């Protein structure tokens, strides 16, 4: 019965008890004309009795419920893997911990909602990226099956287009697989010492034919061509350089120029890939490393690529405990930069 007493009922009971005590002392004083000292003693007794009653009822009914709530929170934290055991604590300590728990829970909810939004957007982007080449393939193949295959010109033209879309599908799937591996095996980095300038020159040589198609010049920036020795996974850093230089060529202007430079930063080095292309508006910069993000979707798909190159580059650099960034000015050009360590203890 008393375990289920409400706060209102508790307040009424305490008020009634105090009123009875006050009424009793007033009656005694009035009937017996007691001296001041007895009045003071009587009031003191009432105060002590009131304190005792309040303490008893608060401990028995209110604080017991607070501790029950705290125990539930403690059990929740323990089930979540946090080292926490329930102990009887003061109401101040309980209040502080409950408030902290509420704040952390609120942050977790916001984080989970953010992750859910990201997951939804990511699945939508994957679906869209895969659907575009698949629909094109269906169109070309059905056209050929409906009679187009008997026209040699149409047959060759549509087979080339179909092959191009198959290559695009293959590129998307391979890049998705690469990102998943980087996420699942972020520590799967095989670092070694190598000269970063040698790798840059190798990248320039490998991509020179692709650059010539748009008459873009690839070069090392003067004054930033020191051959620093870095400690990193050479194959993965080669992939980063390739992705950044290919992007500068793909989206650069014809007869433009892409320059690569290396700069010393204490124990790290900064590698920058700079082009003189059209540049990127500021509102797009913070999203560039997101999967499938495209500044101009129609133009990006026309130029090829999976839309995952920058995301892969970011994963690789972060797996090295380093950073990658971008800055750009519309009409001037874009610079991508990433750091590498010269210290073997950095990874």
Per-residue 3-state assignment (H helix, E strand, C coil) for 251-282: CCCCCCEEEEEEEEECCEEEEEEEECCCCCCH
Look at residue 86 in the predicted model and tell me its pLDDT: 46
In this structure, the strands spanning 192-195 and 229-232 are antiparallel
Please report, for the chain, the start and end positions of each structural domain, with discontinuous segments joined by +: 2-88, 120-184, 192-346
Look at residue 213 in the predicted model and tell me its pLDDT: 86
Distance CA 254, CA 273 (A): 17
In this structure, the strands spanning 257-265 and 217-220 are parallel
Look at residue 229 in the predicted model and tell me its pLDDT: 92
Cβ atoms within 10 A of the Cβ of 260, count? 24
The CATH number of the domain covering residues in 120-184: 1.10.287.130
Gyration radius of the chain over CA positions:
36
- Quickly tell me which residue has 């950095």 as its tokens: 346
Distance CA 222, CA 347 (A): 30
CATH class of 192-346: alpha beta
- Quickly tell me which residue has 């850093």 as its tokens: 237
Question: Nearest 10 degrees: CA dihedral of 28, 31, 36, 41?
Answer: -10
Per residue of the chain (347 residues), give pLDDT as tens.
455 555 566 666 666 776 676 677 667 666 666 565 666 666 677 667 766 766 666 666 666 666 666 666 666 655 555 545 445 455 556 556 666 766 776 777 776 676 666 566 666 667 767 777 788 888 888 888 888 888 888 888 888 888 888 887 887 787 777 777 776 655 578 889 999 999 999 999 999 988 898 899 999 998 888 888 999 999 999 999 999 999 899 888 888 999 999 999 888 999 999 998 888 888 888 888 887 777 665 444 455 555 788 888 998 998 899 999 999 989 889 999 999 998 766 55
SS3 of the chain: the string is CHHHCCHHHHHHHHHHHHHHHHHHHHHHHHHHCCCHHHHHHHHHHHHHHHHHHHHHHHHHHHHHHHHHHHHHHHHHHHHCCCCCCCCCCCHHHHHHHHHHHHHHHHHHHHHHHHHHHHHHHHHHHHHHHHHHHHHHHHHHHHHHHCCHHHCHHHHHHHHHHHHHHHHHHHHHHHHHHHHHHHHHCCCCCCCEEEEHHHHHHHHHHHHHHHHHCCCCEEEECCCCCCCCEEEECHHHHHHHHHHHHHHHHHCCCCCCEEEEEEEEECCEEEEEEEECCCCCCHHHHCCCCCCCCCCCHHHHHHHCCCCCHHHHHHHHHHHCCCCEEEEEECCCEEEEEEEEECCHHHC
Distance CA 347, CA 345 (A): 6
Look at residue 205 in the predicted model and tell me its pLDDT: 92
Q: Would you state the structure tokens that stand for residue 275, as one six-digit string? A: 């082009």
Phi and psi at residue 296, to the nearest 5°: -130, 90
Look at residue 266 in the predicted model and tell me its pLDDT: 81
Distance CA 113, CA 274 (A): 37
Look at residue 258 in the predicted model and tell me its pLDDT: 93
């Amino acid at each position: 019965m008393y375990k289920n007493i409400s706060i209102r009922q508790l307040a009424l009971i305490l008020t009634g008890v105090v009123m009875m005590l006050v009424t009793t002392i007033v009656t005694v004083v009035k009937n017996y004309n007691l001296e001041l000292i007895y009045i003071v003693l009587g009031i003191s007794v009432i105060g002590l009795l009131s304190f005792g009653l309040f303490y008893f009822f608060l401990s028995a009914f209110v604080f017991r419920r607070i501790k029950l709530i705290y125990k539930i929170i403690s059990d929740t934290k323990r089930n979540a893997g946090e080292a926490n055991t329930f102990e009887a604590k003061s109401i101040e300590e309980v209040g502080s911990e409950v408030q902290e728990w509420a704040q952390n829970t609120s942050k977790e909810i916001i984080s989970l909602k953010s992750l859910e939004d990201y997951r939804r957007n990511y699945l939508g982007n994957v679906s869209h990226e895969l659907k575009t080449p698949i629909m094109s393939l269906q169109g070309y193949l059905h056209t050929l099956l409906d009679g187009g295959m008997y026209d040699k010109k149409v047959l060759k033209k549509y087979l080339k287009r179909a092959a191009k879309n198959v290559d695009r599908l293959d590129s998307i799937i391979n890049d998705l697989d690469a990102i998943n591996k980087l996420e699942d095996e972020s520590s799967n980095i095989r670092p070694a010492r190598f000269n970063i300038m040698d790798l840059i020159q190798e990248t320039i040589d490998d991509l020179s034919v692709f650059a010539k198609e748009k008459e873009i010049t690839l070069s090392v920036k003067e004054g930033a061509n020191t051959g620093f020795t870095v400690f990193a996974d050479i194959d993965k850093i080669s992939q980063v350089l390739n992705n950044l230089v290919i992007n500068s060529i793909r989206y650069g202007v014809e007869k433009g120029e892409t320059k690569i430079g290396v700069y010393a930063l204490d124990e790290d080095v900064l590698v920058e890939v700079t082009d003189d292309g059209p540049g990127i508006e500021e509102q797009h910069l913070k999203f560039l490393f997101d999967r499938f993000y495209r500044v101009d979707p129609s133009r990006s798909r026309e130029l090829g690529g999976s839309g995952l190159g920058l995301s892969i580059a970011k994963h690789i650099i972060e797996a090295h405990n380093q950073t990658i960034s971008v800055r750009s000015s519309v009409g001037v050009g874009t610079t991508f930069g990433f750091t590498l360590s010269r210290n073997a203890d950095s990874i």
